[in-house]
Amino acid sequence: MTDNEERTEKSQSPIDMESKSSGSPATFIDNLVVPGDVVVDLSSMTNQTIKLGGGLRQDCDAISVMKAGKLRFSKPNKYWVETSQKRYVPCAEDSVLGIVVESKSDNFLIDIKGPALAFLPVLAFEGGTRRNIPKFEAGTLLYVRVVKANPGMNPELSCTDASGKAAEFGALKDGYMFECSTGLSRMLLSSPTCPVLEALGKKLSFEIAVGLNGRVWVNANSPSIVIIVANAIMNSETLSGVQQKIMAEKLLQKIQPQVDNPSFYRVLWLVWLLGSEGLTFGSISSEMQSGPLRCSCYRESDTSQTTPYDGVKWRQKIWCLFLALGSLPAENLVDEI
């Protein structure tokens, strides 16, 4: 190889690298990217408008990557870098869970896990006026939308969608809120439905609100269901779709009898009865089979119908627990007592 050929090869190598880095956006979508990668060349796109999400920035006619992760695209024209991290970087149009820190005359200061507190104007509600300003105490959990997120400025929030309707935004009452990584929160909001939520939703009834800032709120009629859902979600981050379904099914098999069968609550009711002062089990009727709270008993003062509270107390307790668990019919219990 001559010297001239070597010079030509060396001079062409940087051009080849640049052409690879500024290739079509489709080649980078769903692939790993690192800071410095140019994923979109605006000079080759005419009469097109694109939206940039987290992890991307515009340098003249080039859209470059700011952090490592996977490049994602959503129709019609939004690009962002998806990564899993604890720190949340606010981005416009993100739905987040915020905690009220302070209430002022014109706005509320909200903690959204960002580098700075965000502010929620008192009029940023559906039909908001000076006469019906909402009142939120410190610590109130809100589901809000990020309206503006400019560098060096406090993010601006709103409790309405783009059309001005309240939609699902507003205060979240009761329930349980826990924190996770931003990658897990995006997985829960992905389409189609996340496998772990799909598997749990087939057997359990619960409400859930997921914020892109790594906060999840779960609410259900029973505290046990809330704990089950929260644990299943937190354990699913490193699992594949198939593994998530298997994990959820195994978890439901263990707790399903307790969640679905009202006898689980009969035990709690009977424990309260056994611990109540002045109660004897004169009769425990078969009405218990129709509900957890239908149990008849007599007090010591009911002299007309009183069964002595004698040495068979513990024997009665065992029979009652068996009845509550659904292992014995109520008729057998009445006969034995």
User: Binning pLDDT at 50, 70 and 90, where does residue 277 land?
Assistant: very low
SS3 label, residue 260: helix
Q: Which bin fits 174, alpha (ψ -120 to 50), beta or left (φ > 0)?
A: left
Taking 80 as the threshold, does the pLDDT of residue 281 lie above it? no
* Tens-digit pLDDT profile for residues 44-78: 777 778 888 778 888 888 888 988 888 888 888 88
Maximum Cα–Cα distance across the chain: 119
* Tens-digit pLDDT profile for residues 6-30: 444 443 433 343 444 445 666 778 7
Which has the higher per-residue pLDDT, 257 or 149?
149
Mean pLDDT of 120-135: 86
Taking 60 as the threshold, does the pLDDT of residue 305 lie above it? no
What is the C-alpha to C-alpha distance for residues 91 and 120, in angstroms, rounded to an integer? Answer: 15
Taking 80 as the threshold, does the pLDDT of residue 304 lie above it? no
Give yes or no for a contact between 297 and 281, defined as CB atoms under 8 angstroms apart: yes
Half-sphere exposure of 53 (CA within 13 A, CB side): 19
What is the C-alpha to C-alpha distance for residues 166 and 333, in angstroms, rounded to an integer? Answer: 55
* 126 Cβ contact partners less than 8 Å away, ≥ 6 residues apart: 159, 160, 164, 165, 166
SS3 label, residue 269: helix
Find the angle CA(22)-CA(25)-CA(31) to the nearest 5 degrees: 100
* Tens-digit pLDDT profile for residues 140-193: 999 999 999 888 899 999 999 888 888 889 999 999 999 998 889 988 998 788
User: Binning pLDDT at 50, 70 and 90, where does residue 253 land?
Assistant: confident
* pLDDT for position 12: 40
SS3 label, residue 241: helix
* pLDDT for position 256: 60
Most confidently modeled range among 122-136, 199-213, 308-322: 199-213
Which has the higher per-residue pLDDT, 61 or 99?
99
Give yes or no for a contact between 71 and 30, defined as CB atoms under 8 angstroms apart: yes
Choice among 193-207, 296-310, 311-325 with the minimum mean pLDDT: 296-310
Mean pLDDT of 37-44: 83
Cβ atoms within 10 Å of 169's Cβ, excluding its own: 21
SS3 label, residue 216: strand
Mean pLDDT of 221-249: 90
Residue 118: beta bridge partners?
110
Q: Which of 159, 148, 51, 164 is nearest to 91 (CA)?
A: 148
Pair of tokens at residue 192 = 């189609």
* pLDDT for position 303: 42
* pLDDT for position 152: 84
For the CA atoms of 130, 135, 140, 145, the dihedral, rounded to the nearest 10 degrees, stands at: -10
Taking 80 as the threshold, does the pLDDT of residue 282 lie above it? no
Percent of the chain past pLDDT 70, that is, above it, reads 68
User: Binning pLDDT at 50, 70 and 90, where does residue 84 land?
Assistant: confident
User: Binning pLDDT at 50, 70 and 90, where does residue 268 land?
Assistant: low
* pLDDT, mean over the chain: 75
What is the C-alpha to C-alpha distance for residues 68 and 81, in angstroms, rounded to an integer? Answer: 8
* pLDDT for position 140: 94
